[in-house]
Amino acid sequence: MAPAADREGYWGPTTSTLDWCEENYAVTWYIAEFWNTVSNLIMIIPPIFGAIQSVRDGLEKRYIASYLALTVVGMGSWCFHMTLKYEMQLLDELPMIYSCCIFVYCMFECFKMKNSVNYHLLFILVLFSLIVTTVYLKVKEPIFHQVMYGMLVFTLVLRSIYIVTWVYPWLRGLGYTSLGIFLMGFLLWNIDNIFCDSLRNFRKKVPPIIGVATQFHAWWHILTGLGSYLHILFSLYTRTLYLKYRPKVKFLFGIWPVILFEPLRKH
């Protein structure tokens, strides 16, 4: 976490329970943590296009919700890191819980009839979200949120491993790429927290372009944003395979992955 001595800017004193390692208002007076803010674009823009494509393809609403939930997380994180206000922190952290619950629902409903609804699972996930929200608003302890978020991610990891091990082994590349990128982000998140003082001292001694590369919380956003996006593709690929569509991963401009498919033609 960041040392206590940080300058103030447009948004006034920090009220959030967390202040990350990036130097506050170092780039512009209007954004508290500039790189931690703009790095959220990867979680905002691509999922919007994913949601639009899902609507056009007539996909089940839960996949549209998955894309939009990731966008909401990115927007909340943008507001949090831009202001370092407690209310904006909640706008970042609580949607992380809600989006993961949507991901969990999608992953456990991959092998059901089209447009079916699992009300029991829905009830459990909504209840879980309400309990986490209520407790977190009461205790205001970031570690509680991190543990609850970690439980959901662990559930997704186990389900993904089951699918690529026992159901669709040929999806290992996509599934493990999503997981590996996410874990790399988690590693950098921890390095940023544990070695913050050393990173700040290092940034004072090197050219700005090198210093930017050591903004590891921003890298956490980029890698977990990409990892989460790939997880949605993995979930969607699994679902459309089960529905006997013909999913294919294509790369827009040769770099950005999207999923395209067509229903299996009847002869």
Q: Is 115 annotated as a binding residue?
A: no
Please name which of 228, 234, 229, 227 lies closest in space to residue 184, comparing C-alpha atoms.
227
Q: Is 231 annotated as a binding residue?
A: no
Sequence-distant (6+) residues with CB within 8 A of 9 are 24, 25, 28, 29, 30, 31, 32
| Residue type for position 69 | A
Distance set, CA 168 to CA 10, 25, 102 (Å): 51, 48, 22
Alpha helices in 57-171 (DSSP H): 61-83, 86-108, 119-139, 142-162
Q: Is 8 annotated as a binding residue?
A: no
φ and ψ of 256, to 5 deg: -100, 125
Sequence-distant (6+) residues with CB within 8 A of 147 are none
Please name which of 212, 221, 232, 142 lies closest in space to residue 182, comparing C-alpha atoms.
221
Q: Is 20 annotated as a binding residue?
A: yes
Task: Calculate helix-pair angle for 119-139, 86-108, nearest 10 degrees.
Answer: 160
Q: Is 33 annotated as a binding residue?
A: yes
Nearest-angstrom CA–CA distance, 107 and 204: 45
Q: Which residues are annotated as a binding site for Ca(2+)?
A: 19-20, 22, 24, 33
* Binding site feature residues for Zn(2+): 81, 217, 221
Binding residues: 19-20, 22, 24, 33, 81, 217, 221
